[in-house]
Structure 1
């Protein structure tokens, strides 16, 4: 863990123009600099760099932030990796927290395993290039697959000799410990205590982590004499290798995935390598296994769009599509491309260049839900039992999609494809979502007797007392309005949190300064309200925890926050896309937003509360239209009283709001 003082030195030293200029050609425009965005293809510069704010922003694709965010995005590094990158650039010594003895031992073991894997990679490469068997067997195989020398070098391919302990003997001769040869899975120990190679007689494919370290190997057997030998052998799970969290080729593909905003998913090592060689670099492989949540999250870090490439093996396709529902659940956009019969991504890539391959994909890619529906329809035929099962399968896939609008579009299209009434699909999806909500404990019920804990005195959504517990919309227009209002309030907290908004008198009539954070926290707490968005809630919670610290600077604190989501949102909210031109400000001084805080902040809070009251009024009107309530005199009177109370509150707020309030966005 890097200490905060070191982080501050790095942030102070990292001049945004200097950092971005290493990767983007910038030219001065007014007080800022502009250039072509490095995160997407464009012809007109939309990437702006502000030296005064220390921020960059593309106003086309939205990518940007401070110097750390830029390096994280461009080099696909973690927060701490980006800090160390900048520290090296500016020759700043990185001081990290002292590790415990247990942590030191664990770190030492992990580093030793990486070192041993690095040695093995170099050893296998050397055998491939310089040993007679490596050239005649291993290199011959790679050349037969059509791999060029630069491709073999790029993916660090190698060869392991037929001798069962060649690697083990060479490693121990050079001082590498048997313990780590076994821990990495490169070797195993026999009952007699002898060390044997796991990958003898195979061509070798190193598996790289996101940062480029070798975490594992895959080996393909060359001998065809022993039919009992597995065609592929992979490293076992270890302290540095978790198969469910790694994707083959991600290290080489990450920048291309970000730039193209799409990831191609294939099955094998050679599929990835051949596509890279043909010019398509945004491709990864699940290495012959079904997708896991960890692998999906890894892809989702770089893009929301994924295209799965299938060969013509229908049995294999049907077996693999079950796992793709997890991609839908993550909210990803999934396309499917079926390659011509007899071709897999490897063979197809060897026959076509990148332009032809991309053209084929564009012409043949199909949305996953439609692909799955048509595939299962062909399988079900006219059998009513199979068709019923098919409908259930499709409904399950649609039900996991988080976006309501996307679900609605799919239900409409699938009803036409399946020749089933849309309302039946809607009802089935609703049932499944209700079951999932109950399973996850998200029924949304409110229990006033056992409220959940608050964060620093700020109530969480489950604490909101009647009538507000049902008023935080999950989706749709109202949900977006609440989100925007919360976002405006959080923007104010990040920009001006510690600034004094006003003064109030204490019990002795002495003036007490009230900061922006104190005003917002107190105003929400007074009515037992809180934000629905968890990120907004967390930011306000942390601001509340620091609001009495004299040295607390909200803008700096959140911009340098170790949580990537918080720091990125802060950078976005601190950016101004538009500024008044000199023409509009000529001859007059317009008040700045900072000078209008006493007007802006209370208006924001009233607007937020007014949105809640308006939503409550809609709920009451909806309840009054319910026949059960309309026929129940007591219930009807209760609702009318509640409606009257809400209208009175709304009237008071309307007077405070005035005829028109312009929110600063």
Structure 2
């Protein structure tokens, strides 16, 4: 179990992987089982929709790979040869080809998969001209996107000929039950392994940039899957190694580099930004200059403040008071995105050294900016604590020896609790108990409920015994009776007939029970 007193996050080992590395619960279980050398057995009932979708994607990958080696794939092979990608990296990355005429949907239908399954898995689209489906990817080089266990979960496709219909150059698979663009990084699995030795992970924007880095011997590289960098992706990289951003050298790429740096800073990490020369992208640069030049660029990588200033030609090139104020405010915005205090102060000091502004002035600017936005710093959960009554009930359930909590779980109802989080935690406890779970899984709680629960478990004084549970159940029963008595008395006062004999009788009965408790 863990609880961060700084940000309020907490939970068990499963929720740690889910929050810190954006694993799903299933992925967390599978990852921990692999680490522990435990083989997970599936029952027939466990063959779920997600299993079927993974089968479809795996079969699609085989199909696309075969198409590249056939005569219909000649145009694709010529294109890849023109891009000077080695056969070794094409094989390593599993790059394939989706023919212009399609064919995957028919192939998969022949394997017994339904049209709805192909659509939901992301490999096919519903025809707009009536019934039937057609392939999502046609006339495209395909890059398989894998999960952290190496299973194909989607594709990214690059058009190699100009489209008469104005089709986009790149198309990515849609979100599905097994894939969410913002949660996965292309190439993550291999990069995670390589980063352990190099203590470095390189972030690029495109699939071909990624392939070029791998071809040059850099396996510690990942790419976003057709979206801007997200917080989950930033956390995954930061947890592995030092992050280096390497986007295109044009203005759009430079702006995107700074934006990506802010997302990484928000997750508590300080990235470096590799400055690709203007007008080039990483693919072009590596092809022309080779591995050694890339290593030199990495060693010369700037922090976000220096990089942002270099884009302007340095502080000395900033002319005029109005322009200087505007530039400093933007630099302060970048520094303010850092949630880690040491990183934030380091960046503020960097701005001071570069511009001559005082620390106090910049700190005031940050405070005013945060006050204006009225937004909490990202990465910070609400610090929620259960009230004393709810803490006593939840703590008694979770910290009692095995077997003693069942009567209390059955007895206590949500109406007995006094907070939203308390009710949420009890609801999940009952749900897991009904499903036969032997041990309560904190990771299945909502974020705020999990934070409150882990804080409670860290602070709770001692384990609960049978006598404690018996006394608590008696107290809960007493609370219920007192509440019912109070409700009936209020009703009696509001009744037009103050001599309502039935209400008076019920009140007397409850008061007798309370006296005898």
Aligned partner of 2:458 in structure 1 is 540
Aligned partner of 2:309 in structure 1 is 373
CA distance in structure 2 between the partners assigned to 1:441 and 1:341 by the alignment: 32
- After superposition, the Cα gap between the structure-2 partners of 1:325 and 1:535, relative to the gap in structure 1 and judged at 3 Å, is farther
**1:78-97 alignment, distance < 5 Å:** 79-85=28-34, 94=41
CA distance in structure 2 between the partners assigned to 1:116 and 1:459 by the alignment: 44
CA contact (8 A) 1:248 1:284 kept: yes
CA distance in structure 2 between the partners assigned to 1:178 and 1:307 by the alignment: 42
Aligned partner of 1:411 in structure 2 is 348
| CA-CA distance at 1:422 after TM superposition | 3.1
Aligned partner of 1:206 in structure 2 is 144
CA distance in structure 1 between the partners assigned to 2:394 and 2:68 by the alignment: 63
Q: Does 1:259 align with 2:208?
A: no
| CA-CA distance at 1:441 after TM superposition | 12
**1:371-520 alignment, distance < 5 Å:** 371-376=307-312, 381-433=318-370, 439=376, 452-454=386-388, 456-457=391-392
**1:301-340 alignment, distance < 5 Å:** 301-303=239-241, 305-340=242-277
CA distance in structure 2 between the partners assigned to 1:255 and 1:442 by the alignment: 26
| CA-CA distance at 1:116 after TM superposition | 0.7
CA distance in structure 1 between the partners assigned to 2:171 and 2:238 by the alignment: 28
**1:39-438 alignment, distance < 5 Å:** 79-85=28-34, 94=41, 108-129=48-69, 131-134=70-73, 136-163=74-101, 165-190=102-127, 191-224=129-162, 226=164, 228-303=166-241, 305-362=242-299, 364-376=300-312, 381-433=318-370
| CA-CA distance at 1:312 after TM superposition | 2.2
Aligned residues: 391
CA contact (8 A) 2:181 2:227 kept: no
| CA-CA distance at 1:211 after TM superposition | 1.5
| CA-CA distance at 1:336 after TM superposition | 0.8
CA distance in structure 1 between the partners assigned to 2:40 and 2:213 by the alignment: 41
**Cα deviation digits, residues 102-141 of structure 1 (max 9, x gap):** xx6xx62111111111111000001111x2021x211122
Task: Give the SS at the match of 1:220.
Answer: strand
CA contact (8 A) 1:84 1:94 kept: no
| CA-CA distance at 1:361 after TM superposition | 1.6
CA distance in structure 2 between the partners assigned to 1:301 and 1:286 by the alignment: 17
Q: Which runs of 5 or more structure 2 residues have no equivalent in the other structure?
A: 1-12, 17-22, 396-450, 468-517
CA distance in structure 2 between the partners assigned to 1:210 and 1:384 by the alignment: 50
CA contact (8 A) 2:201 2:243 kept: yes
Task: Give the SS at the match of 2:232.
Answer: helix
Task: Give the SS at the match of 1:431.
Answer: helix
| CA-CA distance at 1:321 after TM superposition | 1.9
CA distance in structure 2 between the partners assigned to 1:451 and 1:535 by the alignment: 8
- After superposition, the Cα gap between the structure-2 partners of 1:358 and 1:196, relative to the gap in structure 1 and judged at 3 Å, is same
| CA-CA distance at 1:149 after TM superposition | 2.1
CA distance in structure 1 between the partners assigned to 2:174 and 2:287 by the alignment: 31
TM-score, normalised with respect to structure 1: 0.52
CA distance in structure 1 between the partners assigned to 2:193 and 2:50 by the alignment: 26
CA distance in structure 2 between the partners assigned to 1:535 and 1:172 by the alignment: 48
**Cα deviation digits, residues 488-530 of structure 1 (max 9, x gap):** xxxxxxxxxxxxxxxxxxxxxxxxxxxxxxxxxxxxxxxxxxx
| CA-CA distance at 1:393 after TM superposition | 1.7
**Cα deviation digits, residues 454-509 of structure 1 (max 9, x gap):** 4745999xxxxxxxxxxxxxxxxxxxxxxxxxxxxxxxxxxxxxxxxxxxxxxxxx
**Structure with the greater relative contact order (CA < 8 A, sep ≥ 6): 1 or 2?**
2
CA contact (8 A) 2:76 2:141 kept: yes
CA contact (8 A) 1:337 1:365 kept: yes
Q: Which runs of 5 or more structure 1 residues have no equivalent in the other structure?
A: 1-65, 70-75, 461-532, 551-665
CA distance in structure 1 between the partners assigned to 2:385 and 2:167 by the alignment: 60
Aligned partner of 1:498 in structure 2 is none
CA distance in structure 1 between the partners assigned to 2:62 and 2:89 by the alignment: 16
CA contact (8 A) 2:257 2:273 kept: no
CA contact (8 A) 1:377 1:390 kept: no
**1:584-595 alignment, distance < 5 Å:** none
- After superposition, the Cα gap between the structure-2 partners of 1:230 and 1:436, relative to the gap in structure 1 and judged at 3 Å, is closer
CA contact (8 A) 1:290 1:320 kept: no
**Cα deviation digits, residues 32-82 of structure 1 (max 9, x gap):** xxxxxxxxxxxxxxxxxxxxxxxxxxxxxxxxxx9xx9xxxxxx9965224
